[in-house]
Amino acid sequence: MQLTNEEIIRSLKERSCEKVKLAIVDIDGVLRGKVVSLEKFSSLLEGGMGFCAVVFGWDMEDKSYDNVSVTGWHTGYPDFKARIDLSTQRNIPWENDLPFFLADFYQDTEGGALVCPRSLLRTVRQKSLEMGFSPLFSQEFEWFNFEVTPDGFTGNPPAGTKPMTPGMFGYSHLRASLKSAFFNDLFDLCHRFGIPLEGLHTETGPGVYEAAIRYSELLSAADRAVLFKTSVKEIAYKHGLMATFMAKWTEDLPGNGGHVHQSLWDSDTEKNLFYDSTDPWSMSPLMRQYIAGQLHCLPHMLPMFAPTINSYKRLVEGAWAPTTLTWARDNRTTALRVLAGGKSSTRLETRVIGSDVNPYLAMAACLAAGLYGIEHQLELKQPATVGNGYEDFANGTLPTSLIEATAAMKNSEVAAELFGSDFVQHFCKTREWECREFASKVTDWERRRYFEII
């Protein structure tokens, strides 16, 4: 049972807490927030919290967009009205159990809610509940760890940064033990921070880990995923390390996946509606419609799964990431992987998603597309891929760049139906900005290739 405002304040006073950390999540999935006094926190619970609209008016480097309408110099960057979600309460164990809460703009329907990722997920979740489906989700992440501090990283080329451990050691007990203090801190501190991990192991590549977060109700699952990425970075700092969730940090190694697992349950979350004991693959007709919806919608929403220029360096053949609009049972070369287990474990894994994603947007897109298939009673006419998904072009391929994917989404009636035109136009303009920023830069590849010979 969720505590009331008064009960929250009383419990914090009993713990002699003098301050609270608050955060919202921007369009790129970056935590933005502040620490406030307990007195200020109490007033925010009663009257709401103003949060500068610039958090949706600039990019991940705090450069102001010149092409969005929801906020900007033309509006004077006013405050949007945020609301603290008391159900997100947790304590940060590596900051002396500092109380922490997430906030969003769900009630600010004239401003922040139009573009807030967490608010979008709330809207899609509400639609699912009204259709009689309780969504249970989880996300898993791969990421690389490096022996460098932010100060050292700023002064050196990223390509020369030393990985935390050497060699290709996937699922290695040996390499996990090499940095066992960090490894065990990740598992234990995340659990204490309300992010229970089902598994943590090394992946193939120098200094790379993979973690699977325990499944939960949709909004909680997305909160856990967002907070996990920041938690890993903060815990890494404590060990003199830096973590990257870039989709592909070097062309020489596989990229970082951020696969989302999902299933729909009845309103009491007692029956997995994706499970059918009479089906050879345990797949219910509802699950088939859900998969058909995702396959249909994928080209209309890919930037929500692959939001950066770098995302598309991961989505290449042979890099453990899909390139085709495919599905199959337990096949890691397809876009959608059916995990046909028992009545509690049958689920869908969307493998397009990279670790650089904003989990709120990725999960909103997964669920909205699946519900689209159910609403429109789409049939899963496309046969399951057998063998190499990279060679199955029958249903088409994924867009190969952010600019191509953004153009498809911006002009899509399907995307507008799924997420609302206000969100689609704002999000696509932020992706167009990302493309413009990249287009104006000279890369190391260009210098190496052209400097002398051309």
Token pair 């703009």 is found at 105
Using N-to-C axis directions, what is the helix angle for 359-375 and 218-238, rounded to 10°? 160
Neighbours of 9 (CB within 10 A): 18
User: What pLDDT, on a 0 to 100 scale, did the predictor assign at position 453?
Assistant: 95
pLDDT digits over 433-447, tens only?
999 999 999 998 999
Cα 189 from chain centroid?
A: 20
Cα 33 from chain centroid?
A: 18
pLDDT digits over 58-70, tens only?
999 999 999 999 9
Strand duo 216-217 + 134-146: pairing: antiparallel
pLDDT at 115 over 70: yes
Angle at CA 310, nearest 5°, toward 323 and 313?
A: 35
Residue 287 buriedness (CB in 10 A; 0-12 / 13-18 / 19+): buried
Sorted by sequence, the CB contacts under 8 Å of residue 153 that are 6+ apart come out as 146, 161, 242
| Residue 111: band (very low, low, confident or very high) from pLDDT cuts 50, 70, 90 | confident
pLDDT at 86 over 90: yes
**Could you tell me where the beta strands, DSSP code E, fall in 112-259?**
134-146, 197-202, 208-213, 216-217, 242-244
Mean per-residue pLDDT, 1-21? 92
Q: Annotate 161-192 with b (16+ C-beta within 10 A) or e (fewer).
A: bebbbeeebeebeebbeebeebbebbeebbee
Q: Do the Cβ atoms of 98 and 112 come closer than 8 Å?
A: no
User: What pLDDT, on a 0 to 100 scale, did the predictor assign at position 155?
Assistant: 65
User: What pLDDT, on a 0 to 100 scale, did the predictor assign at position 159?
Assistant: 66
Mean per-residue pLDDT, 295-307? 98
| Residue 312: band (very low, low, confident or very high) from pLDDT cuts 50, 70, 90 | very high
Torsions phi, psi of 52, nearest 5? -55, 130
pTM for the structure as a whole: 0.97
Distances (CA, A) of 377 to 150, 285, 317, 369: 50, 10, 32, 12
Sorted by sequence, the CB contacts under 8 Å of residue 191 that are 6+ apart come out as 197
Torsions phi, psi of 26, nearest 5? -85, -175
The kind and range of the H/E element at 393 are: none
